[in-house]
């Protein structure tokens, strides 16, 4: 059902969350919607539901907005976002290298103990935008934490577009707005895992990455979208297929 703050729709809650919210102060449960009357109550409610075992507490606050560029209405823990169907914003970086005249991409292997998509292939840098952070601030922070990319190098990342999607996952309803960046890296630079999120980095020819996305499910579920966008821009997907994919990716972003 729609989840509203005041009169503004901000998410979607499944029956188990709606039932858990019923009877709480500052919550109105109607037949077709759930409304929070006091935005300031949401962080405490989210913590309470986490303590009841409805989702994992992450200890990282995200802003809650009615629209991607609208004002922050309140905050909620990252672990609660899918359970409330609240849209999150993230950054994904294509780490690009030209080697022997051939385009390559740095590919990360996610740690095997990750709760979400353990062992899957990933971008060199990707992360959610926490409350109080901007896009480039997040990119530079995540680049240093995940791959030991110096700030002065990460700052050269170029914004390449925005992709949005809505997808039901085991953890709930994912509604993400992904800001895509291209970062040209020197041929002699090697990223290093530093925060336990990544098991290893490998430099792949772009064609090999393209074939893995096309033929396998080896990449993390949302990384594929950002890579497909890159392949369109690089001409690996062209013609009517590219036009159809481009329209789908951009429409979801809105």
User: What average pLDDT does this structure show over 62-90?
Assistant: 96
Could you tell me the pLDDT band of residue 118, with boundaries at 50, 70 and 90?
confident
pLDDT higher than 90, residue 243: no
pLDDT higher than 60, residue 254: no
Distance, in Å, from the CA atom of 93 to the CA atom of 250, rounded to the nearest integer, reads: 18
Give Cβ neighbours of residue 194 (< 8 Å, ≥ 6 apart): 144, 145, 146, 147, 148
Give Cβ neighbours of residue 178 (< 8 Å, ≥ 6 apart): 89, 90, 91, 92, 162, 163, 164, 165, 222, 225, 226
Lowest-pLDDT range of 33-42, 80-89, 148-157, 245-254: 245-254
User: What average pLDDT does this structure show over 229-240?
Assistant: 89
Rounded-to-5 percentages of helix, strand, coil across the chain = 30, 35, 35
End-to-end CA distance of the chain: 21
Lowest-pLDDT range of 12-16, 29-33, 131-135, 235-239: 235-239
Q: Check residue 6 and give left, alpha or beta (phi > 0: left; psi -120 to 50: alpha).
A: left
CATH number assigned to the domain covering 88-253: 3.90.79.10
Q: Quote the pLDDT of residue 251.
A: 52
CATH number assigned to the domain covering 2-83: 3.30.750.160
Distance, in Å, from the CA atom of 62 to the CA atom of 76, rounded to the nearest integer, reads: 5
Beta strands in the chain (DSSP E): 2-5, 8-12, 27-29, 34-36, 61-64, 74-77, 88-99, 102-110, 121-122, 125-128, 158-169, 172-184, 198-205
What is the domain partition of the chain in residue ranges?
A: 2-83, 88-253
User: What average pLDDT does this structure show over 208-219?
Assistant: 96
């Amino acid at each position: 059902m729609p989840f509203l703050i005041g009169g503004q729709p901000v998410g979607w809650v499944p029956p188990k969350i709606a039932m858990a919210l019923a009877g709480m102060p500052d919550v109105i449960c109607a037949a077709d919607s759930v409304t929070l009357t006091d935005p300031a109550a949401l962080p405490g409610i989210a913590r309470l539901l986490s303590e009841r075992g409805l989702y994992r507490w992450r200890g990282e606050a995200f802003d809650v907005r009615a629209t991607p560029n609208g004002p922050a209405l309140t905050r909620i823990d990252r672990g609660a976002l899918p359970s409330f169907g609240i849209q999150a914003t993230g950054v994904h970086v294509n780490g690009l290298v030209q080697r022997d005249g051939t385009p390559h991409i740095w590919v990360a292997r996610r740690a095997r103990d990750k709760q979400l998509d353990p062992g899957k292939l990933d971008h060199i840098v990707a992360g959610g935008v926490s409350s109080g952070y901007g896009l480039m601030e997040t990119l530079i922070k995540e680049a240093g934490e995940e791959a030991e990319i110096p700030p002065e190098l990460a700052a050269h990342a170029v914004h390449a577009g925005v992709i949005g999607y809505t997808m039901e996952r085991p953890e709930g309803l994912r509604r993400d707005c992904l800001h895509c960046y291209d970062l040209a890296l020197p041929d002699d630079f090697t990223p290093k895992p530093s925060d336990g999120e990544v098991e290893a980095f490998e430099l792949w020819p772009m064609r090999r990455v393209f074939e893995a996305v096309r033929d396998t499910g080896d990449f993390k579920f949302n990384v594929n979208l950002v890579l497909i966008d890159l392949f369109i821009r690089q001409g690996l997907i062209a013609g009517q297929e590219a036009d159809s994919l481009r329209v789908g990716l951009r429409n979801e972003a809105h």
